[in-house]
Amino acid sequence: MAEKKRTLIIGAGVMGLCSAYYLHKKGHQVTVLEQSMGGQGASYVNAGYLTPSHIVPMAAPGVITKGLSMMMDSKSPFYIKPRWDVDFFKWAWAFHKSSTKEKVDRAAPIIKDINLLSSKLYDEIKESGDLGDFHLEKKGLLMIYQTDAYGDAEKKVAATAKGFGLEVTHLETDALKKLHGDTEVIGKGALHYFCDSHTTPTVFMAKMKEYLLKNGVQINYGEAVTKFQSSNGKINTVQSNKETYQPDNVVLASGSWSNDLVKQLGLTLQVQAGKGYCIDVHRPTGIKLPAILMEAKVAITPMDGFTRFAGTMEFSGVNYDINLNRVEAIAEAVKKFYPTIEITKAEINSAKCGLRPVSPDGLPYIGKMKAFDNFFITTGHAMMGWSLGPVTGKLISEVMEAEETSMDIAPFDPERKFG
């Protein structure tokens, strides 16, 4: 019997655990290293959406200009903290070059396809019974608007989505209110994308971790990678603060920390941390459908036992500092759309944040680095990270096994050029 391939995964977020899941299924002996003690970060505090409807990449025309215009407003949905950071300047220039209508139009069907595939894989994981029962609901997603400008913009996105075969309908004010029953909502209307689903990330992550540990995958928390040793196009050893590993393959699933790690190998990965915040309310809110409040860019999700209010995109470096101004902006936005929902000071003060790894063109990095035969990348998913966890894990397992991939991964090449 052939010896199992030893695969080391750096990072125990949704990308790392989903990669471990599919690689274990293919017979790998998997070890996962996680620098934190677990239970924190973007994989735990996101809105829990599976979003085939999100076909417009973050790198869209006018986004950088809008971000720069909002730099002085710490409560704005999109915020760039003024700072001197050469890596950020390079990333911002690449983002700018990627933000053309032609590139957005080219990315839209790719984003749709990878999201649909990942949504199907979530279903397969649930049906397999591997994780037992976990929260996964198919109620779609409401994009609620209060102004014609935002409504008209989303109607254009909806028309493109319909052209791709996604089911979406427009709701006038009365229909939107009827859908909310006794819960008061203030909106001119909404687009209801029926193709979307939602989950409770903390439940999925806990059950995935439990399954992996039960099936022989090793997950080491509080263990940070400090050094790589390589020769002849192969990573030979990976040194952590606790141990030295000699893996056959290495998967980098370390999110916003990825660029700092690959620099040790003389490589560059254009990725920046886009901080998001969430407030969890553990009492009845009346919210039954996931919704994005368009003008405020706030996401609302009825999760397993609580309601989550999440939002903002803040570029302020790699840190877990909580900017309470931005958290308060989420609470204020909720009040504007749902006047009866009062988020308390204590709930605001208990807010958490996570760092989404953002690539310059809004597409993730999934694939192998050319310089090393055994080094694989899974990061850069931005706001689609939760949605794309399973598909990323499956694709990276197929790449590693030199199998035909479930979809064309050329657009996700970690070494692609921007502009």
Interval 240-283: pLDDT, tens: 999 999 999 999 999 999 999 999 999 999 999 999 999 999 99
Domain residue ranges of the chain, discontinuous segments joined by +: 6-412
* pLDDT at res. 10: 98
* pLDDT at res. 57: 75
Cβ neighbours for 94, distance < 8 A, ≥ 6 positions apart: 270, 360, 361, 418, 419
Rounded to whole angstroms, the Cα distance separating 116 from 52 reads 6
The pTM for the full model equals 0.96
Interval 280-298: pLDDT, tens: 999 999 999 999 999 999 9
52 DSSP β-pair partners: none
- CATH number of the domain at 6-412, please? 3.50.50.60
Rounded to whole angstroms, the Cα distance separating 303 from 164 reads 29
Q: Which residue positions in the chain have pLDDT lower than 50?
A: 1
Closest to 365 in 3D by CA, of 415, 414, 305, 312:
414
Q: What is the DSSP string of 300-355?
A: EEE-SSSEEEEEEEEES-S-----HHHHHHHHHHHHHH-TT----HHHHHT-EEEE
Rounded to whole angstroms, the Cα distance separating 210 from 218 reads 11
